[in-house]
Amino acid sequence: MENQKKIVLTGDRPTGRLHLGHFVGSMQNRLKLQDEADQSFYMIADIQALTDNADNPEKVRNNVLEVALDNLACGLDPKKTTMFIQSEIHEIAELTVLFLNLVTLARLKRNPTVKSEMKQKGYGEDVPAGFLSYPVSQAADILFAKSNLIPVGEDQLPVIEQVNEIVDSFNRLYGKTFDHVKHLVGDTPRLVGTDGGSKMGKSLDNGIYLSDSYEILSKKVMNMYTDPGHIHVQDPGKVEGNVVFTYLDIFDDRKDEVAELKKQYEKGGLGDVVIKKRLVEVLEKMIKPIREKREELAKNPEKIMQILEKGTEEARKVAEATMLEVRKVIKIDYF
């Protein structure tokens, strides 16, 4: 890795706006790496989004712009990061088909990420084949650009593991062509949702979005899960599992003050409203500049599409070069 070029690639499924979980899980790493890497790519994974939204192309289409806006508003810089749309790079589809030969059905069914997503969606055996095999298409997303550093949320680690197995099989059969890839998980790999029950998820209705207004943000924090046993202000409260404190630990820089508040809360005499108001202010400070930049950018959607078009052209050149090499080693380079 030391003398290897650092090529970063990451992506989002365009199925909804991005939330705080995305921000601490991978966005912060994206922003850092676009300055450190030799090359940096950001993909809007519309084909992957269609694997479980085939009946709703409208939703996928509309969210392409939304996730682009979220990323640009957070500070992803098209001068440093090549931003492109997955479906526009046909080589990715071609590479996926070739990689599918290197993966068994049994292995796909064992992938813990896919397994839990299948369960969440209630698919059972009736899972779309495209969805079951999305880790294979994700391998193509990553390897077409020969990228080796992948900032992702913690839930994606089994997918990255499977990518490396595909690298091994490919190299064994056709000669050394790809390098192993490395994942990078943020400081908070898994952010609990506002309900305290599970991780923040687009489909779980427990998220705070990077584009939420102050009013919505306040409402969500005020409804946050705290300690159900903490009924009166003077009652001692629990800090563990209390989402407000979990978030203060992550987002509030004034650690000493938070430690003091925790002590007070555990002793009794500190009401939920006080800590919730504090959290609203902390989150608003972080989200406000993102929201404002997003609103500014959203006034000119054509400009965003131009950025994506230009990035797509750049990514296509890289993909063509890789596919020439791949066709050659698989001996499907006829004319």
> Encoding tokens for residue 50?
């269609």
Binder of ligand TRP out of 8, 24, 27, 43 (CB under 6 A): 43
Interface with ligand TRP, residue 207, by CB under 6 A: no
Q: Kind and range of the H or E element at 326? A: helix 301-329
Report how far residue 90's alpha carbon sits from residue 32's, in angstroms, rounded to the nearest whole number.
Answer: 29
Choice from 138, 218, 226, 322 touching ligand TRP (CB under 6 A): 138
Query: Whole-number minimum distance, CB 10 to ligand TRP, in Å?
Result: 5
Residue with Cβ nearer ligand TRP (29 or 206): 29
User: Rounded distance, CA 33 to CA 108, Å?
Assistant: 30
As measured in angstroms, the least distance from the Cβ of 44 to ligand TRP is 9
Rounded CA separation 308/236 (Å): 53
What radius of gyration, in Å, describes the C-alpha atoms of the chain?
Answer: 22
Provide φ and ψ at 37, rounded to 5°: -80, 160
**Helices vs strands, H then E, count in the chain:** 15, 5
Which helix or strand (DSSP H or E) is residue 17 part of?
A: none
152 near ligand TRP, judged by CB under 6 A: yes
Under the binding rule (CB under 6 A), the answer on residue 14 touching ligand TRP is no
Minimal distance in Å, beta carbon 147 to ligand TRP?
A: 8
One residue of 7, 10, 72, 252 binding ligand TRP per CB under 6 A: 10
Closest approach of Cβ 26 to ligand TRP, in Å?
8
Q: Which stretch in 5-13, 96-104, 216-224, 297-305 sits in contact with ligand TRP by CB under 6 A?
A: 5-13
Residue 35, token pair as written in the block: 């300055």
Interacting residues toward ligand TRP by CB under 6 A: 9-13, 43, 45, 48, 138, 141-142, 150, 152, 156
